[in-house]
Structure 1
Amino acid sequence: MRKKISVVIPTYNEETNVVPLSQAIIEVMEKDLGEYDYEILFIDNHSKDNTKALLRGLCANNRKIKAIFNAKNFGQARSPVYGMKQAYGDCVVRMCADFQDPVDMIPQFVREWEKGTKIVIGVKSASKERHGMYLVRECYYRLINKITDIDHIDQFTGFGLYDRKFVDVVRDLHDPMPYLRGIIAELGFDYKAIEYTQPKRRAGKSKNNFYSLYDYAMIGITSYSKVVMRLATFAGFIIGGLSLVAAVVYLVLKLMYWDRFSAGVAPMVIGMFFLGALQLFFIGLLGEYVLSINTRVLDRPLVVEEERLNFDEPEEDEE
């Protein structure tokens, strides 16, 4: 019996990409990986354009192409992980729908997997996207590596191949806010990283904006970092000590030079605004942790499906 490769592709408003991407994947699978069976699973995050209609057409013409339509947009963290949970191949390849994850790397992933590597990932060594965005991502990766207890993978977006044993680990997790990069670093097997240059998006516009990227970054920080909140305690001790020293110095100077020394109001005003900003900063961070805890305590499902196509046998429900 041939081994089966599942290719999972999250989509949102990708009407210009889903058809050529499916064709490119089919060509690679039949030309370079003909000894394997395969399936292509699109999970659509409630697209507003013609993506769903195009996916219906693809599924009607090819039984190897499957589709899951979400009842609403559940965000870029939840939907892709849910898609992985619905894939039951011997290995799962996860990639984006915008051609920034090179299709021709799939055979490389599979060859490494056949050598016994359970996780094979693509790591960006360079990118043709906006230089500023690449630098922002690099700064984020460095920051999260310094403030967390696990070794996150720099310039890794989730593009890679995952053995079924690891997918089963993900399938057993009941985390309504999954952070796949952290899950791999914390719970995954040893991995093989293959470097590549990320090309530009083939067509359409990126759906990521500052808020969505910030939201995803905060999931990683609140899930795996204790340092940030402990900084509030350290900052309190340090500022308290400095304030005590400053108070003693001002008192001594005032007693020694009673008529000539004028403290003024500027230090008080500056100190008040500084402490106010510091308090708001850490209250905001505390709020992020509370939101993360609240979401996990509610234990809601990752997504709610509206419809699924070409799933011959109903898979067990995932939460």
Structure 2
Amino acid sequence: MKTISIVVPCYNEEENVIPLSRAITALFEKELADYRYELIFIDNDSRDRTRELLRGLCQSDPDIKAIFNAKNFGQFNSPYYAMLQTSGDCTILMAADFQDPVEMIPQYVREWESGYKIVIGIKKSSQENKFMYWLRGCYYKLIKKLSDVEQIEQFTGFGLYDAKFIQVLRGLNDPTPFLRGIVAELGFKRKEIPYEQPLRRAGKTSNNFYRLYDAAMLSITSYTKVGLRLATIFGSICAGLSMVVALVYLVMKLIWWDRFPAGMAPMLIGMLFLGSIQIFFIGLLGEYIMSINQRVMKRPLVIEEERLNFGGDEKSGARQIQDGE
């Protein structure tokens, strides 16, 4: 009997973890009775009752497992790390807030059984804030145009991944993984299934402007050279224009020596303009350097505080886990 692993990242999801676990187990009983399930919740240092409820779920069902992070390791590291801990024939990554429809799981499994190594959901519409959906759409289109690697529009990571793909992830040893880009980059046979994203069932989203900006910068610094190329090209154009303007000014001053007062305004405007451009590109360059620095330091994806129902791997003390373990 094949095993399907389901990974659910959590952060302050006390109102959703129990309903979601019940919905998934009921789905397997009714529509996927020929498969075993392994349901892994990874808690990113929640401040509510999420961990307490997960302990109860693990006690009631040995096929439900939990990983408690020692601190919040971010929206990318935590789910990626949990995917590396799965043991199933395939792994499904989904959100805890019901915005990734549970009823799509059987469709994912059917496509997987037909030969696809990766089956992912693509948001064709959303019941979320219309402005945020439009803003995300603009972001996806921008990244797709700028990236050297094919990027997938309106893909959040929700999907099914074959064990062979998971094994490849274990070998990447990337301390700052961006799953959405990795899926597009590695080139496994992929099936895309459109769906409408529903509203959150309960609770408040932890996404904010900073998190969205962090995601955008990670994708730009990981999969594009456009920032560095823009700095080089724009700097060259500005240098060329400055030389032309300087030459024209010199000629005009020599011809009309007494009638051509330049004044300070053009100089100040030019200095402020070039200074602001320099600051912008220094900041962008800093984003690339920060990304390189994180990769060079080779820090672990996650430091576990505790894990439940993983057999002999469980420990109550703080435990550092490397991403390939």
TM range (shorter): over 0.9
What is residue 248 of structure 1 aligned with on the other side? 247
Q: Is the 2:227–2:285 contact (alpha carbons within 8 Å) kept by the matching residues of 1?
A: no
Q: Is the 2:7–2:82 contact (alpha carbons within 8 Å) kept by the matching residues of 1?
A: yes
- What is the Cα deviation at residue 69 of structure 1? 0.3
What is residue 178 of structure 1 aligned with on the other side? 177
Q: Is the 1:9–1:43 contact (alpha carbons within 8 Å) kept by the matching residues of 2?
A: yes
* 1:301 aligns to 2:300 (yes or no): yes
What is residue 154 of structure 1 aligned with on the other side? 153
What is residue 124 of structure 1 aligned with on the other side? 123
- What is the Cα deviation at residue 191 of structure 1? 0.7
Scaled by the length of structure 2, the TM-score of the pair is 0.94
Distance 1:234 1:146 in 2: 18
**Mapping of residues 284-299 of structure 1, within 5 Å:** 284-299=283-298
**Would you say how many aligned residue pairs link Structure 1 and Structure 2?**
317
> Once structures 1 and 2 are overlaid, which stretch shifts more, 137-146 or 100-109?
137-146
What is residue 22 of structure 1 aligned with on the other side? 21
Q: Is the 1:147–1:228 contact (alpha carbons within 8 Å) kept by the matching residues of 2?
A: no
* Identical pairs, percent: 64
What is residue 262 of structure 1 aligned with on the other side? 261
**Mapping of residues 166-205 of structure 1, within 5 Å:** 166-205=165-204
- What is the Cα deviation at residue 29 of structure 1? 1.4
Q: Is the 1:78–1:177 contact (alpha carbons within 8 Å) kept by the matching residues of 2?
A: yes
Distance 1:27 1:268 in 2: 72
What is residue 75 of structure 1 aligned with on the other side? 74
- What is the Cα deviation at residue 252 of structure 1? 3.0
Q: Is the 1:166–1:188 contact (alpha carbons within 8 Å) kept by the matching residues of 2?
A: no
Q: Is the 1:5–1:93 contact (alpha carbons within 8 Å) kept by the matching residues of 2?
A: yes
* 1:56 aligns to 2:30 (yes or no): no
- What is the Cα deviation at residue 266 of structure 1? 2.1
Paired amino acid for 1:59? C
- 2:311 is paired with a residue of what secondary structure? coil
Scaled by the length of structure 1, the TM-score of the pair is 0.96
- What is the Cα deviation at residue 302 of structure 1? 0.4
Distance 1:39 1:294 in 2: 35
- What is the Cα deviation at residue 256 of structure 1? 3.6
Distance 2:267 2:138 in 1: 35
**Aligned alpha-carbon RMSD (Å):** 1.3
- What is the Cα deviation at residue 258 of structure 1? 3.6
- What is the Cα deviation at residue 313 of structure 1? 4.3
- What is the Cα deviation at residue 62 of structure 1? 0.9
- Alpha-carbon deviations, 1:197-237, whole Å to 9, x = none? 11111111110111122112211111111221121111111
Distance 1:152 1:240 in 2: 34
- 1:196 is paired with a residue of what secondary structure? strand
- Alpha-carbon deviations, 1:268-288, whole Å to 9, x = none? 111111111111111111111
Q: Is the 2:10–2:46 contact (alpha carbons within 8 Å) kept by the matching residues of 1?
A: yes
* 1:226 aligns to 2:225 (yes or no): yes
- What is the Cα deviation at residue 318 of structure 1? 4.0
- What is the Cα deviation at residue 140 of structure 1? 1.4
- What is the Cα deviation at residue 242 of structure 1? 1.1
What is residue 318 of structure 2 aligned with on the other side? none
Distance 1:269 1:117 in 2: 61
What is residue 111 of structure 1 aligned with on the other side? 110
Paired amino acid for 2:43? D
- What is the Cα deviation at residue 74 of structure 1? 0.3
* 1:213 aligns to 2:206 (yes or no): no
- Alpha-carbon deviations, 1:54-75, whole Å to 9, x = none? 0001111111110000010000
Distance 1:125 1:217 in 2: 20
> Once structures 1 and 2 are overlaid, which stretch shifts more, 104-113 or 256-265?
256-265
- What is the Cα deviation at residue 262 of structure 1? 3.2
Distance 1:318 1:246 in 2: 57
Distance 2:70 2:313 in 1: 18
Distance 1:263 1:132 in 2: 47
Distance 2:293 2:228 in 1: 17
Distance 2:62 2:75 in 1: 26
Distance 1:57 1:314 in 2: 19
What is residue 46 of structure 1 aligned with on the other side? 45
What is residue 97 of structure 2 aligned with on the other side? 98
* 1:133 aligns to 2:132 (yes or no): yes
Distance 2:161 2:187 in 1: 9
Q: Is the 2:7–2:94 contact (alpha carbons within 8 Å) kept by the matching residues of 1?
A: yes
- 2:283 is paired with a residue of what secondary structure? helix
